[in-house]
């Protein structure tokens, strides 16, 4: 049985950086970690989805309804909903259904994990 789309994903997507160094510099990542990282990168490796991440994160209150995103992107609601579903499935956004509308918000931990795992900075 699969979790409903409105469920917040709690499993960590990426290895967490520790005080020494980032996971990619510390040791090779596992096949599972590589698959999770690739899934996250694939989800944001699209110009429309990158814009959605930026627009939702910068939106007042840190969340936006699909109805508020169609005009700025110049795309139809079904197209935007498709992109938002990919971002939710990747754990980048959460989805909160309110009446007939769905509101999307960035999961800061997802972006923090991505930033940390790709960073080359090392503490001395």
Residue 24: phi, psi to the nearest 5? -70, -25
17, part of any domain: no
For 33, the domain range is 23-118
If one compares 122 and 21, the residue with the highest pLDDT of the two is 122
Residue 36: phi, psi to the nearest 5? -65, -45
110, part of any domain: yes
58, part of any domain: yes
Mean pLDDT within 62-77: 93
Least confident piece of the model among 11-20, 23-32, 73-82, 107-116: 11-20
Enter the tokens of residue 100: 């007939």
DSSP 3-state of 80: helix
CATH label of the domain that carries residue 56 = 1.10.10.10
6, part of any domain: no
User: Under a CB-based contact definition with an 8 Å cutoff, are residues 74 and 81 in contact?
Assistant: no
pTM above 0.95, yes or no: no
User: Under a CB-based contact definition with an 8 Å cutoff, are residues 88 and 77 in contact?
Assistant: no
- 106 sits in which H/E element: strand 101-106
């Amino acid at each position: 049985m699969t979790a409903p789309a409105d469920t917040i994903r709690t499993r960590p997507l990426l290895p967490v950086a520790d005080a020494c160094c980032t996971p990619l510099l510390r040791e090779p990542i596992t096949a599972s970690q590589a698959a999770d990282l690739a899934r996250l990168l694939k989800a944001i490796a699209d110009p429309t989805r990158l814009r959605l991440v930026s627009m939702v994160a910068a939106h007042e209150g840190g969340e936006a309804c699909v109805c508020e995103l169609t005009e700025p992107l110049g795309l139809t609601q079904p197209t935007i909903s498709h992109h938002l579903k990919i971002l939710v499935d990747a754990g980048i956004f959460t989805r909160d259904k309110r009446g007939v509308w769905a509101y999307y918000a960035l999961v800061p931990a997802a972006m923090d994990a991505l930033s940390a795992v790709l960073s080359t900075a090392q503490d001395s």
